[in-house]
Amino acid sequence: MRLLSKKDSKLIMDPLADNNPITIQVLGICSALAITAQLKPSIVMAISVIFVLGAGNVVISLMRNIIPSKIRIIVQLVVVATLVIIVDQVLKAYAYSLSKELSVFIGLIITNCIIMGRFEAFALANGPWQSFLDGVGNALGYGVILVIVGFFRELLGSGTLMGFKVLGDPVEKTGLYAIGYENNGFMVLPPMALIVIGIIIWVQRSKNKELIED
């Protein structure tokens, strides 16, 4: 027997590729790009969003029958804000330097359009278990793009991954630097995040022609 039924696993797998929140639905770009200059903050951001979206979807789904539809936006905002405060306090307690680095962008998870979008589109109409899977799936789809962008920007921009010098030492000229390789400092600057995502979209849509816009 499989852990997840076919329909359930579709909920998780779809957002990872053909219905990716960033490259296809164009949601949640706001708080994502500025923190992808390095891999580590990207991963932390991805985990935070997985937690907030998974838990938030369950809470909204449990309350879906008692929320008056007129004030649902405020209710949703309060639920997200509470979850984000938890994430922020945990980060401040256990990873203070990282939380300084992410600064306001943890707070901006509140207005991340993926979260409101999934609440509106899914959690208000489905049961808690499916909502949880949908939330985790979408957050994973978001996280995958974040990690890919963070990976390339850190590797090409600083020659490191998670802080380890994988390409050798640029000062002592070891590894790749011995044969004249140079870091592309441009990759660390904010504009390159946009261009890297543009390229990811290009690659994805070349592979799957159905996704091409008119």
Partner 1 sequence: MEHIELFFKSIFVDNMIFAYFLGMCSYLAVSKKVATAVGLGAAVIFVLAITVPLNWLLDQYLLQEGALVWLGPEYADFDLSFLSFIMFIATIATMVQLVEIVVEKFSPGLYNSLGIFLPLIAVNCAILGGSLFMQSREIETLGLALNYGIGSGIGWFLAIVAIAAIREKIRYSNVPAPLRGLGITFIITGLMAIGFMSFGGMLTGGDDEATEDNLETVDGMVTAQKDHKTSDFVIEETNDTDNK
Using an 8 Å Cβ cutoff, are 86 and 109 in contact? no
Which 64-93 residues touch partner 1, going by CB under 8 A?
73-74, 77-78, 81-82, 84-85, 88-89
Q: Answer yes or no whether residue 182 interacts with partner 1 by CB under 8 A.
A: no
The residues, any chain, with a CB within 8 Å of residue 131's CB and separated by 6 or more, are 57, 58, 60, 61, 122, 123
- Structure-token match 């359930």, residue found: 8
Name which position in 18, 63, 107, 155 contacts partner 1 (CB under 8 A). 107
Q: Answer yes or no whether residue 212 interacts with partner 1 by CB under 8 A.
A: yes
Q: Answer yes or no whether residue 191 interacts with partner 1 by CB under 8 A.
A: yes
Q: How many residues bind partner 1 (CB under 8 A)?
A: 47
Minimum CB separation of residue 197 from partner 1 in Å reads: 5
The terminus-to-terminus CA distance of the chain in angstroms comes to 43
Using an 8 Å Cβ cutoff, are 34 and 99 in contact? no
Minimum CB separation of residue 207 from partner 1 in Å reads: 9
Half-sphere exposure in the Cβ direction for 72 (13 Å, CA):
18
Q: Answer yes or no whether residue 42 interacts with partner 1 by CB under 8 A.
A: no
Between 127 and 191, whose beta carbon lies closer to partner 1?
191
Residue-wise DSSP of 51-65 = HHHHHHHHHHHHHTT
**Residue 123 structure tokens:** 């959690």
Minimum CB separation of residue 75 from partner 1 in Å reads: 10
* Rounded Cα distance, 83 and 88, in Å: 9
Name which position in 110, 124, 145, 187 contacts partner 1 (CB under 8 A). 110
Binding residues (CB under 8 A) for partner 1: these are: 23, 26-34, 73-74, 77-78, 81-82, 84-85, 88-89, 103-104, 107-108, 110-113, 116, 189-195, 197-198, 201-202, 204-206, 211-214
